[in-house]
Structure formats: structure tokens, C-alpha cells
Amino acid sequence: MNPKDLKEILRALEVADVREFNLKTADYDLSIRRGAEAPVVYAQPQYAPAPVPAQQAPASAPASAAPTPAVPAAAETAPAAAPAPAPAASGTPVKAPIVGTFYTSSSPDAAAYVKVGDTIAAGQVLCIIEAMKLMNEIEAETSGTLREILVKNGDPVEYGQTLFIIE
């Protein structure tokens, strides 16, 4: 390989932002690596950030003012957390029994299994959750009227996440 060919390869790798390149022929073995190797990073769920803001608010309030402002800050935090469970209390929640992707119908062209306001019978199919290429029909455990659909078609769902509210 002549220097001109090597320079062309290096320019092409730089333009394409290639970090590693290997070329083996009968005459030579070329191996090129650019930049430092990045460490392997594993994605971990971040559970710590949620409590941190709650701890920072009381810590900053006493430092800047009297304890009186800290009480309203705590009172404001409690009502903000309270509305989330309130809708579930008005009916029976239907929760996801598995992790997967939520679908309202059996195919993109088909009509949704249920709509808000529909009368639901126990055992009726409400949706499908796809998990590992398997389509799992989720059935109602109770009868009633469908009051709320809490997930959009195609959204990922977690185990135990509330999908529907039936009254």
C-alpha cells in the first residue's frame, strides 16, 4: 500500500466519523483506531432524582427565610401528589399484567376493542399487549362502563401500570 492510498483511507474514515477500521489482505494487515475508547455505560433506572427535589426545597427554605415558608412548600407538594391517585379511586383500575407495547385493536386497520363510555362485560377483550412478539389479549375482570383509557395506542407499558378505569 502506498502512502497516497493510506491518506485517502484516513480522510474517508474521518469524513464518515469511523472510529475503528480493519483491512486484511495477503500482503498486509491494516488496523486503524481513532480517539480514546469510550467506557461502556449501562442504562440504569434513575430513582434518586424524584426524592432529591423534595429534600432540596425544605433545605433551601430555612436557609433563605423563616420556617413559615417551608410549611406552604410542603403543603404545595402534597396536593400535587394527591391528584394522581384520585382518578383510580372513582372506578376499578385495569392494570397491565406484563411489560410490553399497548395496542387498542388487533391490527392497524381494525376498530378499537373498546371506547370510553362502552359497557364492558367481565371477560371482554379490552386491548392487546405485545411482549416479545407475542400478542396477549387483556380481558376485563369486572363488568361496568369504561370511564377512561389512560394509555395511547403504541405506547410502552410497565407491569402494574393502570390502563383503563371501569366503573
Q: With bands split at pLDDT 50, 70 and 90, how would you rate the model's confidence at 41? A: very low
**Interval 119-124 mean pLDDT:** 92
Average pLDDT, the chain: 75
Residues 6 or more apart from 67 whose CB is under 8 A from it? 61
State the pLDDT at residue 87: 45
Where residue 151 falls among pLDDT bands split at 50, 70, 90?
A: very high
Task: Work out the average pLDDT over 135-159.
Answer: 93
> What pLDDT does residue 118 have?
92
pLDDT reported for residue 46: 46
pLDDT at 157: 94
The C-alpha cell at 32 is 486503524
N-term to C-term CA, the chain: 76
Reported as a single tens digit per residue, the pLDDT across 62-119 is 554 445 555 555 445 445 444 444 444 578 999 999 999 999 998 889 999 999 999 9
- Contacts (Cβ under 8 Å, ≥6 apart) of 69: 61
- The mean per-residue pLDDT over the stretch 134-138 comes to 90
Question: What pLDDT, on the 0 to 100 scale, is given for residue 104?
Answer: 93
pLDDT at position 83: 46
Helices (H), the chain: 3-15, 51-64, 67-81, 86-89
Q: Higher confidence at residue 13 or residue 142?
A: 142
Q: Is the pLDDT of residue 1 over 80?
A: no
Q: Mean pLDDT across the stretch 20-46?
A: 65
